[in-house]
Structure 1
Amino acid sequence: MGRHEAEHISVANRITVKIDEKLAGTRFTRPRLPKLKKHAFRPLWGFLFSTSLLLVSVVDPYSGTIASADTLVFSGESELPEETYGFAQTQTISYARGGFNIVTGSEVTAMFVADAGVPQAGTAKAYARDFLTQVELGGSEQYSCLVKLWERESNWRYNAKNKSSGAYGIPQSLPGTKMASEGADWLTNPETQIRWGIKYIKGRYGSPCGALAHSDKKGWY
């Protein structure tokens, strides 16, 4: 025991003495608690600290910056969320350096899409960009979402085929014969595939950014 501890009575000991004096002459006695060393509380403090961090993450997972540019969490309000998400009515898009921030849904969910830039004339991407304008889905942000989506699906190869599912073409139509509605040459013509793919996206998800958001969540669109 150090000199300071020997000459100075601690606050806890003073309180204990006062309690004993008050209880003297009564039938009550102060309960005797076991003495615990300071290090005995370390596991408790560690548990409380870890729990507090977990609660902060659960209550406000977006209190800091998003962990990844591709992070996306959202919930659909439809009875069949795998079929209808309605992003066309809820998404907002803002310009960011080198790309676009897409925020969609009522729970403030976001992801970053790099600006795809202007495609080379005469390519499949150039045709897709022009066709987006024809169906009133023009704009750099929607084109950039389409580029990212179809790079993920097929890398823009007209003859891409999924060995497990049988999905085919640039938009990965399942089955590929669905694209025959846009032309008998759907098997080899990227423009036929693109027309079908963009119409499918517009009808089901409202926009390429809506389809990309679904793909980010589910792994398909």
Structure 2
Amino acid sequence: MLSFLRSRVVVLVVSSLSTLALATGLVVHADAASAFAAATVDGSHAPGTAQSADPVDVEALQAQRAAQLQRRSQAVDARLAALDALQAQQLLELGYDPETATTPQEIARQMMLTWYDWDEDQFACYDAIIMRESRWDPSADNPRSSAYGIPQALPGKKMASAGDDWKTNPATQIKWGLGYVKDRYGTPCKAWSFKRSHGWY
């Protein structure tokens, strides 16, 4: 959504600046034409007569228009900066970008990097765990226990601490699962090492 708003702002700004720039040229030519027409009517430009109309100050008019363009450009920069700051805050709170993270795996990868600074090696360890626990299925339900969801929380309702939508939202489940790994093992690779030795984590 923020990317769409940013694109919309850029389009509107380019259109506005182009219109203003075009208007600058038209105004200059229109003012010059008006001055010439007025001078012609009163005979000041008739052959053999001296020019009496005041000349149009084209440089001053262009400077005025340039200043307007500069002010609008600065306003646009401020608007785009505000959108960037809003997007950065959203990413920090969510831990991932909803526009690019369209699978549970990508949500986890982005959360790990954003919140814990865990690299691809750590993601590989976490992926190894989850593939054996739930295969990244948010509705995975262990029939032999009350373990549930992507991280196979036991019982599943533990994940309510991460959000009310813990039964269906992969992001909520992953948020809880990564927090569990961080608190209990420190890193996903340490959790994976434990699971390989014990069969659970």
TM-score, structure 1 as length reference: 0.45
Which structure: greater strand fraction?
A: 1
